[in-house]
Chain A
Amino acid sequence: MARRPMEQNTELNLIPVMNLMSVTIPFLVMGAQFVEYSSLQGAMARIGARPEAGIESPAPPIGLQVTITAEGLGLSVSGGAAGEAERVLLPCAGPCSSVDAYDWAGLGRRLATLKDQHPDELTAVIAPGEDIRYEVLIRAMEVCREERRAQGGPRVLFPRVLIAPGPGSL
C-alpha cells in the first residue's frame, strides 16, 4: 500500500517583493503628477497675419468677434458671403465679478448657430477689455473653440482663436 507524500508547508517568501516595492514607491511618488495640465493655442491678432499651416479657411472670413467687457459678452459678425452684419450683447446675470457670471451658455449656443450657417469658417477674434481677468479670456477661448455636447462628444467650432485689444485698450 503506497503511502501519501507528506504535505510540506510552502509559504511564499514575500520579503524580497516587499523590499522591491519599498524602493519603487518613493521613486514613483517623486515622479507622480497629481494635477493634469492642458494647453490652448492662440495668438495676438495682427494686420495681414497669415493663417497657421494646416488651418486654411476656404470661405471669406465672416469677421466673428467676441468682445468681453465689465457689462458682459458681445458677439458681432461683420460680413461674409451674404454680407450680413449682426451684433448681440449677452449681459451678465448680475455683476460680472467672477468668470461664472458671464453667459457662456448663451455665447456657446450663438456660436454653434453661426457654425451651422458658416461651416467653413475657422477664425474667431476675442477682444477683452483692459480690466478683464485672464481666467475670463481662457473661458472665452474654450467656448469659441469647442461646443460641449451632452451626446456625441465635443464639436469643433472656431479653432483658430486670435486675441485683439478690446474696448478701452490703447
Chain B
Amino acid sequence: MPTGDLNITSMMDMFTIILVFLLMSFATTDAQITPNPQLVLPSSASNDTVEVAVALVVQRDQLRVDGLPILPLVGASAADGGAGLRLPDSALEGSRIPALFRALSEKADAARALAQGAPGADRPAFSGKLLLQIDKDVPFSVVRPILTTAGEAGFDDVRFVTYRSGASR
C-alpha cells in the first residue's frame, strides 16, 4: 500500500492568515463592554477611546450600575421602537432617581476612600468619570433624570459609549 506524509503546508498558510487577522482584532481597550440584545448602542465617528470608569448601563428592560440591577424600565414594546420606554413613576423624586443616586454615591465614596488610602504623593484622585452605555432607542425623558442624578452624585465627566463607525478611520 502506498504511504505518504500529510502535506500541511497549505494548512500552515491558512493558520498564518488567521493568526495575523486575530492579532489585529485583539482587544486593546481596558473597559469591559458586554454585548446584549437589550442594549444596542448608537454609532459615532468619534476617535475618543473608552476608558475604565464606573459603568452605567441603560438597557431596554433595566438600568444597571457596574453590572448590578438598580431599576427596571417599563413600557418597552417592539411596535413603538422604544419611544414608550420610561422609568417607573415610583422611581423618580423630582428630577432625581434616589436608587441610582445611592448606588452612584456608594461608588464615588469607595473611589474617594481608595484614593485617600493609597500611599505616596501621586495617589489617584476621584475623577468623577462615568461610562454611559444607553440603548439607542431610549427617549430623552429617561436620559435626562439619569444625567441629573449622576451629576448630583459627583460624576461630572460623562462619557457616552458608542459603536465606532468607519468614517473616522
Chain A residues within 8 Å of B, Cβ to Cβ? 14-15, 17-18, 21-22, 24-25, 28-29, 31-44, 46, 52, 99, 128-135, 137-139, 141-142, 145-146, 148, 154, 163, 165-166, 169-170
Contact = CB atoms under 8 A, between A and B. Distances in A.
12 contacts: A15-B8, A25-B18, A25-B22, A28-B22, A35-B163, A38-B50, A39-B161, A41-B160, A43-B147, A44-B151, A130-B144, A137-B140
Interface residues of B, number: 58
Interface of B: 8-9, 11-12, 15-16, 18-19, 22-23, 25-29, 31, 33, 35, 41-42, 44-51, 81-83, 95, 131, 134-141, 143-144, 147-148, 150-151, 156-164, 167-168
B19 A24 contact: yes
Nearest to B81: A133
A123 to B, nearest CB: 15
A99 B44 CA distance: 12
Given A28-B19, A37-B161, 20 more contacts: A18-B8, A25-B15, A25-B18, A28-B23, A36-B163, A36-B164, A37-B41, A38-B47, A38-B50, A38-B164, A39-B48, A39-B50, A39-B160, A43-B147, A43-B157, A133-B83, A134-B137, A145-B46, A163-B144, A165-B144
B27 A40 contact: no
A39 B137 contact: no
Does more than half of chain A's interface fall in helix, strand or loop, or is it mixed? mixed
B151 A18 contact: no
Given A31-B26, A39-B49, A141 B167 contact: no
Contact of B12 (A18, A29, A146, A154): A18
A135 B137 contact: yes
Contacts of B8: 14-15, 18
B29 A37 contact: yes
A42 B168 CA distance: 20
B45 A34 contact: no
